[in-house]
Amino acid sequence: MKPTLVRSLTLAALLFSASAFAQTSGGSAALPSAPSAAGDPAAITNPGGTKIGTINVEGAIFASNEGQRDFDVLSKKLEPKQNELKAKSDEIDGMKKQLNTQGDKLNDDTKANLMKQIETKQKALERDAQDAQDDARSQENEIAQRILQKMAPLIVDYARNNGFALIVDASANNQWPNGPVVWTSGALDITKPVVDAYNVKSGVAPSAKPAATGARPAASGATAKPAAPAATKPTPTN
């Protein structure tokens, strides 16, 4: 499962929505303060913000307890279809091997029939694989967007509480030459504190498996990014 997640424009829309909500509702509980790279305490307390930080949105989604749990569930859900596709692929490989090893011994009609079967099954497999990939991508996107919708306000809170004027999405899909992020040292990366705060807020327990490092899960092979979540104003909860 390798979805390429939201780009900065999508995150910016969510952050704008979350920021507007924070201004009208007072926001949520303050997150822990980040260390100032320049050693300037005023950078943390300055309400206007002066620092520029980065966040790996994609990594944050997958590193969260909720992300690990939900993508693991999805991976298990997709296994039967993957096994089915593999069985069909193995069948075609067997037919191709038969054609290569016995082709000169088969009469013209038998050989032509075998070639036709291979072609038909190959086309059917390609359609099935594309349908399966599209379905997996849709479900991956749904999980990623749901988590990001809830994570966006925490990113805004952290930036406000720690003197940041700008947060840039430094996910792998936003790295140069495919994206606007040319280079980042990681010194002011806020991914971990945001993930920690999200885990607390979500209440989802850590996975029993070894802790994830933010790498994407590999199950479906999907590569397209999700559609941008609607930048709607969150509804306050009582």
d(CA 85, CA 19): 45
Angstrom distance (rounded) from CA 198 to CA 8: 20
- Give the pLDDT confidence of 166-206 residue by residue, as tens digits: 999 998 888 888 888 898 888 999 999 999 999 999 999 99
Q: What share of the chain is helix, strand, coil (3-state, %, to 5)?
A: 60, 5, 35
Q: What is the pLDDT of residues 80-90, one digit of tens each?
A: 999 999 999 99
Q: Which long-range contacts (CB under 8 A, 24 or more apart) does 168-171 make?
A: 168/8, 168/52, 168/53, 168/54, 168/55, 169/6, 169/7, 169/8, 169/11, 169/54, 169/55, 169/56, 169/57, 170/54, 170/55, 170/56, 171/5, 171/6, 171/7, 171/56, 171/57, 171/58, 171/59
Which pTM was predicted? 0.70
Alpha-helix residue ranges (DSSP H) falling in 162-214: 191-202
CB atoms within 10 A of CB 9: 10
Q: Over the stretch 88-135, which tens digit does the pLDDT of each residue have? A: 999 999 999 999 999 888 999 999 999 999 999 999 999 999 999 999
Looking up tokens 């497999």, which residue turns up? 125
Q: Bridge-partner residues for 132, per DSSP?
A: none
pLDDT in tens, 155-170: 999 999 999 999 999 9
pLDDT at 44 over 70: no
Q: What confidence tens digit (pLDDT) does each residue in 51-79 have?
A: 999 999 999 999 999 999 999 999 999 99
Query: H or E stretch including 189?
Result: none
Whether 154 contacts 197, CB under 8 Å: yes
Backbone φ, ψ for residue 45 (5° rounding): -90, -15
- Is 70 exceeded by the pLDDT of residue 237? no
Residue 215 has pLDDT above 60, yes or no: no
pLDDT at 29 (0 to 100):
40
For the chain, what is the mean pLDDT? 78
Q: Residue 214 has what DSSP assignment?
A: S
Q: How far is residue 157's CA from residue 197's CA, in Å, rounded to a whole number? A: 10
**pLDDT over threshold 60, residue 220:** no
CA distances from 13 to 7, 10, 175, 228 (A): 10, 5, 19, 9
Query: In sequence order, what DSSP letters do the residues of 83-138 get, joined into one string?
Result: HHHHHHHHHHHHHHHHHHHHGGGS-HHHHHHHHHHHHHHHHHHHHHHHHHHHHHHH
